[in-house]
Each structure stands twice: as C-alpha cells, then as structure tokens.
C-alpha cells in the first residue's frame, strides 16, 4: 500500500525507497503539498530577482499566484498576486512599479508594502470612498517570508515555527558563510524546467553516486569519494564535498577568499567573496 512506509523507515542498511505512488499519484501529491510544502518553509525565489526598489515579479507556487516585490523601504515582500476586490491577477509579468500596484480590472491601487491606497469610483461615479470600505482591512494578503543566503523562503499556511527555530542547526552549520551576497544578473544563473515529481529533483541533488557516469568532467576534480553526507535524522539530508576549485579569469586571476574563516572551513574548501561570478543551479 502507498501509505505503508514501514520499509522506508527501516535503518539505512535495510531501508527501501518510497513506493511508486509517491511519485505519480495526484492524491498523495496533494496531501504532501499541504503537509510538507505549505506547512513548513519552502524556497520560492532569490531576493536578487527584484534587485531594485519597486521591482515586482509574479511567481506561481503550486497553483498559488504570488508576487515578489521590493518595497519603497527596500524590503523584499511576498504577496498573493490577486486583488482583494474581485481576485484579478495584479501583475502578469516582471515590471517596475513606478507608483502603485494597480489592478487592471477596477483600478484599485496598492502600495509596494501592500496597503490599499486607492479605490476609484467605489462609492459611485466620482466618489472614491465608501463607508463600507475599510482600506486598512483590504490590503494585499502577505505571505510569511524569510530571506537566508539571499533565498526567499515562504510559509504558506503561516503556522510554522520561525525560520530561525526550524532551521537553527542549519544556520549554525553555515554561519561562517553567512556573508553579503552579490548577484551577477541574468547571466549568473539558469532555470531548469522539470516535468517530474519534486522529490526526484531533490533526490538527484542529494547524492553523488551518478557523477562518474553522468558528470565525468565534474567527477574529474570533485570525485565521488570526495563527498560526504549531511544528515539530521527526521529533518533533512544532503551532501557536501571536500573539494572546491576557484574559477579563473582569462588572465588566470581568482577571486579573494572570505576573511576570518576557521581552519576547519578552510580545510573543506575555498569560498569566494564574489559569489555572483560563480555559476549556480536552481530548479524551476
């Protein structure tokens, strides 16, 4: 049975993978969508997607239309991308918000902080207010968010413990790398559009077993045997590598390392101040 996970929960020496239904069954996907992706903290975007004040980018997250905005106070926010009046999509493509976020249906307007600021003709022609309209109650619905390493995480149901609590051990593990990040623009990343269950993409990134055959070039300097497991039972699993190579420029120059890293970190690899120049991978 699909819900019988006894074989999965065995000690790692005897454990088996998830039943097939967990990768193809729509009902199971709907269940885990709410239990895992909505109820905890999920990665949505990077703050550099909206680099300047007023930038806005629409993003659909598991069927929910969202809007990533950098407000006038330079704070990155996530809103539901729908007007509080009739639910019209507010922003259909990335743009600069010059004045306010304006609904194309009835022209209700919102500030970049989500406050409802204008309701033209709502009380009749020429009457832009009405006693039944309380603007303070009708601002955009903001989705709880947290930024870590420039990645925007969201908690859709709003009920998860704070990000700093849920991921306290991860924050402690990577605290030495928590430095300002500089994004290199459109040429510093690429999108992978995958027609697959989300777990398959994650499982691929959590193991290096496939490197010798699928990525022989990468395996030539970051070998299968150079990797180590990162795992917290019941919380997360992943993988690290003890080998990193700095990218060289045309004249063989390399970027300077971060200052003040511990000897242990220096042993594991070399970290670059200008991360914007390093290629990154991001699943769409």
pLDDT (tens digit, 9 = 90+) per residue, 228-257? Answer: 888 877 777 888 887 766 667 888 888 777
Q: Of all residues in the chain, what percent carry a pLDDT higher than 90?
A: 60
Q: How confident is the model at residue 1 (pLDDT cuts 50, 70, 90)?
A: low
Q: Residue 49: helix, strand or coil by DSSP?
A: helix
Same-domain check for residues 230 and 276: yes
State the chain's mean pLDDT as an integer: 87
Best CA proximity match to 202, nearest among 164, 239, 151: 239
pLDDT tens digits, one per residue of 82-106: 999 999 999 999 999 999 999 999 9
Task: Assess if residue 18 is contained within a domain.
Answer: no
pLDDT number for residue 255: 74
Q: What is d(CA 138, CA 128) in angstroms, rounded to the nearest whole number?
A: 15
**Does 216 lie in the same domain as 123?**
no
How many other CB atoms are found less than 10 A from the CB of residue 103?
A: 22
C-alpha 133/C-alpha 130 separation (Å) is 5
Q: Tell me the pTM.
A: 0.85
Q: Read off the pLDDT band of 274 (50, 70, 90).
A: very low
pLDDT the model gives residue 276: 31
The answer on 139 and 176 residing in a single domain is no
Alpha helices in 10-123 (DSSP H): 21-24, 26-32
One domain, residues 54 and 141: yes
Q: For residue 183, is pLDDT > 80?
A: no
- Give 273's pLDDT tier (boundaries 50, 70, 90): very low
Count of C-beta atoms within a 10 Å radius of residue 159:
10
The answer to the question of residue 30 being in a domain is: no
Query: Which residues make Cβ contacts (< 8 Å) with residue 200, sequence separation at least 6?
Result: 23
Q: Output the pLDDT for position 207.
A: 87
Residue 265 has a pLDDT of 59
Residue 226 lies in a domain: yes
DSSP letter string, 91-114: -SS-EE-SS-EE-TTT--EE-TTS
Sign of torsion, CA 160 144 201 196? Answer: positive
Taking 50 as the threshold, does the pLDDT of residue 283 lie above it?
Answer: no
CATH assignment at residue 131 = 2.102.10.10
- Give the domain extent around 83: 45-146
Supply 207's token pair: 């193991």
- Number of domains the chain contains: 2
Residue 25 lies in a domain: no
pLDDT at 269: 42
Contact 91, 81 (CB under 8 A): yes
Same domain, 91 and 49: yes
Percent of the chain with pLDDT over 70: 90
Per-residue b or e along 184-214, where b marks 16 or more CB atoms closer than 10 Å to that residue's CB: eeeeebeeeeeeebbeeeeeeeeebeebeee
The answer to whether residues 174 and 278 belong to one domain is yes
Residue 86 inside a domain? The answer is yes
């Amino acid at each position: 049975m699909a819900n019988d996970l006894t074989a999965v929960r065995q000690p790692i020496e005897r454990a088996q993978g998830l039943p097939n239904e967990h990768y193809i069954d729509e009902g199971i996907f709907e269940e885990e969508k709410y239990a895992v992706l909505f109820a905890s903290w999920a990665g949505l975007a990077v703050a550099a997607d909206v680099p300047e004040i007023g930038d806005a980018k629409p993003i659909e997250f598991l069927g929910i239309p969202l809007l990533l905005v950098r407000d006038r106070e330079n704070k990155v926010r996530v809103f539901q991308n729908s007007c509080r009046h009739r639910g019209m999509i507010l922003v259909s493509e990335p743009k600069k918000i010059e004045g306010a976020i304006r609904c194309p249906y009835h022209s209700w307007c919102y500030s970049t902080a989500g406050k409802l600021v204008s309701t033209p003709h709502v009380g009749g022609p020429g009457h832009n207010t009405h006693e039944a309209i309380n603007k303070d109650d009708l601002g955009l619905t903001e989705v709880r968010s947290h930024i870590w390493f420039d990645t925007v995480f969201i908690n859709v149901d709003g009920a998860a413990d704070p990000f700093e609590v849920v991921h306290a051990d991860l924050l402690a593990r990577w605290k030495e790398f928590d430095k300002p990040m500089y994004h290199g623009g459109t040429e510093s990343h690429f999108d992978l559009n995958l027609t697959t269950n989300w777990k398959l993409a994650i499982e691929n990134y959590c193991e290096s077993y496939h490197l010798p055959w699928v990525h022989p070039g990468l395996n030539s300097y970051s070998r299968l045997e150079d990797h180590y497991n990162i795992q917290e039972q019941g919380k997360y699993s992943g993988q690290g590598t003890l080998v990193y190579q700095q990218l060289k420029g045309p004249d063989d120059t390399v970027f300077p390392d971060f200052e003040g890293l511990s000897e242990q970190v220096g042993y594991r690899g070399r970290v670059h101040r200008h991360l914007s120049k390093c290629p990154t991978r991001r699943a769409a």
